[in-house]
Amino acid sequence: MTAEAPPVVAVDKSQDSAPPSGVRAWLSRHPLAAYAIRRLGLYFVELWGALTIAFFFFRLIPGDPVQTLIQTLQQNYMYNQQASTELIARYQQEFGLTGNIFSQYLKYMDKLVLHGDLGPSLINYPTPAQDVILRSLPWTIGLLGISAVLAWVLGVLLGAIAGWRRGKLGSAIATNLSIALSHVPYFFVALILVYIFAYSMGVLPARSAYDSNISPGISLEFIGSVLKYGLLPGLSIVIIGTFSWILSTRMLMVPVLGEDYLVYAEAKGLKGWRILTRYALRNCYLPQITAFGISLGFIFNGNVLVEQLFNYPGLGTTLVTAIQQLDFNTILGVTDIAIFSVLTAVLLLDLLLPLLDPRVKYWK
């Protein structure tokens, strides 16, 4: 008597190999969108973390800004002890200094994220801190934005040429100057420029942002005055920034020169300038795009001292004044603007890079 074989049960493997559906299917068909969503999520995490660190860092600085303001008011007006106590309680409530530091943090983030409110400025009370910052922001954008972009363009082009013509006298001079000057502080160059062009030659102004005799407005006279007064602080950033980009671009260019595709292009009879601009330079400026976004934070730090030196009415001068007067709301506001600007610039450049360089792979 033989045993019967057990029945064969068919296993449906269609579920295991079924393609993803819904959101996952759409993301798999659109890798650029998936990359952008993931990168945007990382951006918000970085932004929250940086804003949180900035808040606790400045809140833990010793000093009582409200008491400083009360002492200033008492020097100009007559307050009795009861009035001073009432003012202290009112100011602490308005400036978000009541409760423990964690409750202050929650109130601050709630007002910042939901209402865009930084609170009143301590030294410009009752003017909101965001209004004080917005008055200074256009000056910093004009000075820092134009100078940083101009330095990047000049540095990448000259660095590529220095790497392409390595071994030549001009390349050696540019490289040695870049090594010597790329890490010099902006304010040191600014002092030299002020001494030469403002005090010795007297051809350029040393302080302020425009001629006080000209009424601000959209006119050729005012724009010309702004450009003239911004030339020295702008040059101090452009000079150091250009040499820094020359050095880093040359370091990227030299290893590329031995690649097979450049040898093939030369064998085809293409002219050297065409090979440099159409082939070699493309592989050098792409990494520099990401580096530009990262460098904005360092440029802003150097720009603070430059603005202070030239009495330029930008965020740097506003930040230094706020630190001296313990104006925490303005300090945090300027810091938050810097954090937001740098992280947003890096985000946009990261999203742009895959479109410029097909070798960049999207996140899986």
For 301-336, give the secondary structure using H, E and C: HHHHHHHHHHCCCCHHHHHHHHHHCCCHHHHHHHHH
At residue 1, the pLDDT reads: 47
Under a CB-based contact definition with an 8 Å cutoff, are residues 97 and 119 in contact?
no
Token look-up 């800004």 returns 65
Q: Per the structure block, which two tokens stand in for 111?
A: 């007002």
Give the DSSP per-residue string, 7-63.
PPPPP-TTTTTPPP-THHHHHHH-HHHHHHHHHHHHHHHHHHHHHHHHHHHHHTSS-
For 169, half-sphere exposure in the C-beta direction (CA atoms, 13 angstrom radius) is 0
Q: What is the pLDDT of residue 361?
A: 62
φ/ψ (deg, to 5) at 120: -75, 150
Q: Assign 123 to helix, strand or coil.
A: coil
**C-alpha distances out from residue 166 to 251, 258, 274, 300, Å:** 11, 13, 17, 32
| The token pair that represents 198 in the structure block | 């403002």
pLDDT tens for the chain, 364 residues long, are 455 555 555 545 445 555 555 666 766 666 677 777 888 889 899 999 999 998 888 888 777 777 777 776 666 665 555 556 777 777 778 777 777 888 888 888 888 888 888 888 877 777 888 888 888 888 888 888 888 889 988 988 888 888 777 777 877 888 888 888 778 888 888 888 888 888 888 788 887 777 777 777 777 887 888 888 888 888 888 888 888 888 888 888 877 777 777 777 777 777 777 777 777 777 777 778 878 877 777 777 777 888 888 888 888 888 888 888 778 888 888 888 888 888 888 888 888 777 776 666 655 5
pLDDT value, residue 295 = 79
On whether the CB atoms of residues 183 and 272 are closer than 8 A, the answer is no
Question: Looking at residue 359, what is its pLDDT?
Answer: 64
DSSP 276: I
Query: What is the third-level CATH fold of 136-325?
Result: MetI-like fold (1.10.3720)
Give me the half-sphere count of Cα atoms (radius 13 Å) on the Cβ side of residue 320.
Answer: 16
pLDDT value at residue 129:
85
Residue 97 is predicted with a pLDDT of 76
Chain centroid offset of residue 247 CA:
21
In 3D space, the residue among 318, 320, 306, 140 whose CA is nearest the CA of residue 239 turns out to be 306
> Cα 214 vs. chain centroid, distance in angstroms?
32
How many Å separate Cα 337 from the centre of its chain? Answer: 9
Task: Number of helices (H) and strands (E) in the chain: give both, helices first.
Answer: 16, 0
- Contact (CB, 8 A) for 213 and 278: no
Which pLDDT does position 45 carry in this prediction? 92
The 10 Å CB-count burial string (b at 16+, else e) for 164-200 is: bbeeeeebeebbeebeebbeeebbebbeebbeebbee
Q: Identify any residues that bridge with 128 across adjacent strands, giving them in sequence order.
A: 120
Q: Give how far Cα 324 sits from Cα of 59, 63, 89, 137, 139, Å.
A: 15, 11, 23, 19, 21
- pTM, two decimal places: 0.76
